Amino acid sequence: MADSSNSTKINNKIYDQEIVVLRWGHRPQRDARLTTHVALTARALGASGFLLSDIVDEKIKVTIEKVTRNWGGKFFFEMGTPWKKAVSSWKAKGGIVVHLTVYGENIQTSDVLERIRNLRKPIMVLVGSQKVPKEFYSKEISDFNVAIGNQPHSECAALAVFLDRFFEGTELAKDFTKANITVIPQKRGKKTIVKR
């Protein structure tokens, strides 16, 4: 699970809680683009890996692995494992499960984020595509049900806000090692360094 390469510095403290995203309910004919965006968001905003449960979609895997090769950093992509097996394996290794749902504890008005951080355990974030099974809300599956506001919105947006709040913005300045493409931030235009 966690290793020092997954550590993130937050307010002069090192949080070594690994975060992995599990995507459930992916429908290849309908969700390919959004699932790709959920994986890209996970990678860019500090997660160490992505599990596409219950299904194999090679196109998404190829895309994410290509992005990781070109843009750097460590990020794994796995697929096909049944979600129950992935969750039980994660918990057996000492990890916790956070289910992002509009019905959960509000991330702004509760102390849920602090409680998650204080456990100092690796985190699996469950992100649904279609309507999730009722089991997702249970104590047996989710240690926390977290809402990014209690209104309907995109799962990609929910994941982005959760990761940004968890890492308190530090993930936006993360150094992606071994990058072949690096953006040079500037006020106007586009500038990159490309290594070949």
pLDDT at position 10 is 44
Rounded mean pLDDT, 109-119: 96
Give the domains, in start order, of the chain with CATH numbers: 4-194 (3.40.1280.10)
Q: Is the pLDDT of residue 43 over 80?
A: yes
Query: What is the three-class DSSP state of 182?
Result: strand
- The model's pTM is 0.91
Rounded mean pLDDT, 36-58: 97
Length of the chain: 196
Q: Is 105 exposed, middle or buried (0-12, 13-18, 19+ CB in 10 A)?
A: middle
24-37 pLDDT tens trace: 999 888 899 999 99
pLDDT at position 28 is 86
8 pLDDT band, cuts 50/70/90, is low
pLDDT at position 11 is 44
Q: 185 pairs with which residues across the strands?
A: none
